[in-house]
Structure 1
Amino acid sequence: MGDRSDYQSLAIALRSLEYVNNEEEWLPWVTAQKWIDYIGYNIESTAEFDKYKAFVLAKVEKIYTTLIVNTNNYTHIQLLLKDIIYDIGCSYGLPLCVNATIQEIAAWSLDPENLSDEAIDEVAYCQALSDVNSSYWEFVFEQYKSNNDSKIRKRRRGALACSYNEDNLERLLEFGKNTSVPEAVNIAYALGRHPAGRPFAWNYVLSVWDTWLEKYSQFDVGYNIYQIIKEFSTDEELTKFESFLEDVKDDIDDKRTINYFLQLALEDMKRWNDWLDTNLSSVQSWLTGLGY
């Protein structure tokens, strides 16, 4: 990560993405999706992400409208391309996708006894509930709390954790803590996947550390903490984690399994930070050059 070949590959990818909106074939979009997701995944917690998001949406909106909104009869290749375009558009919050999903949730809210969210795409579901002022977060939260089916709860938990409303995220975690350890851990997993949720996930880890160390096996402690924090990537998150490791080093000096998972998390954070140190300025310059 961060060597010359990686840098050159990124430069080529950035240039190719500038013209992907001219493509109507499946193969170029397969490659484009890999790079779009890779770059977005790495810069999601940076200030450049909103600019990058605007760039991606500008590239995908036309073909999304043509292929998903206006087309009814698909060839096999068009179906494959449709899945890619839908995934990109919805992942980055394309209004056409988000608004359609909100309409599905609205219909469900009017008849919760006979309708459900089973057919709602998970990526679109996440974006539909991410807005700070989402009108339907509360409704989905109530449906989440009242349903005991593990698969349904997982879908709803994942969508609820996408919110950028800190009060909602705190309520979600508090519900988990007041319900059971597994419920709280699963919510912390979900929160740790999104920048807005990561502070809550990290505070949860700090709050349970002493108790977990006393009650649970080394594997359970190490594995679950790793799953919660494995997507942390910012300088601030790395600094806090390094400080935490220094504070608990005596507690885990003889606990090899816990050490293994915590060191694995540390290596992941450092690797992401190295990528940002090497490549973020290039992405920033590229976006600026395109007017973003």
Structure 2
Amino acid sequence: MKVYTLNCNGRLFVIDSPVVMGIINATPDSFYSGGRDGDIREILHKADRMLQAGAGILDIGGLSTRPGSAAVTEREETDRVVPVISMIKKYFPQAFISVDTYRSGVAKAAFENGADMVNDISAGNMDRDMIPVVAGLNIPYIAMHMQGTPANMQDDPRYDDVALEVLQACADKLLECRDAGIKDVITDPGFGFGKTLEQNYTLLKRLHTFAVLDTPLLAGVSRKSMLYKYLHITPEEALNATSVVNAWALEQGVHILRVHDVREARQVVDLWEMYRAL
């Protein structure tokens, strides 16, 4: 695996083996019930458990992006994520924290309270100020591909060649970020965001082609509908499927696994590394 070193406002984050990113939702309507977190003490306990289990990054989000989710103002989103980030940073100062938002104002407030990177599902397409703001903050930027918006992305997603078109879109976005002054970009192909079931798996099978971008690659498949709809189960029953697909993603060259279940994902990484070393 190629080694990447990311500059998080003066702190270095080294990716020399697969990283597990733990999801912490400061939202009342996450699609997965196990991802819904309560008061700040409960969230701190969850952050502690994730870090102890091997999370390299904690991803804090205050806005659900599932279709049909309730609208949330920027003020509400900020009020959800900033106290969480601030408290996690206070009790776990060495933790690396990403803020999951597509709003530049939330990203800036999160950075001012301890966030080390920005995770944007729209890659700047839903807030044209996002990319210049992140460039000014001098922190890494996770740019995710999405066809459409959260409200319409699953209406009728179409591609002639899903892997090629997503790769081209990610390459174009990488150039835009670099031109704006963002030095460290992480690429997320956006599983479940404007892709059909079959398109998700076609994209997964060809993830190795994204190596041409020469950026760290993130995959977020944890308990998503591409798993549970195919197997006719619920998100709560999709842990085994998540582990299997995470292993496939590692085989395709993924550097970061974004997950609800850190301990199990860390076990996948440990077994994969042992197997690869034989």
Q: TM-score, normalised by structure 2?
A: 0.31
Which of structures 1 and 2 has the larger relative contact order (alpha carbons within 8 angstroms, sep 6+)? 2
More strand, by proportion:
2
Superposition TM-score, scaled by structure 1 size: 0.30
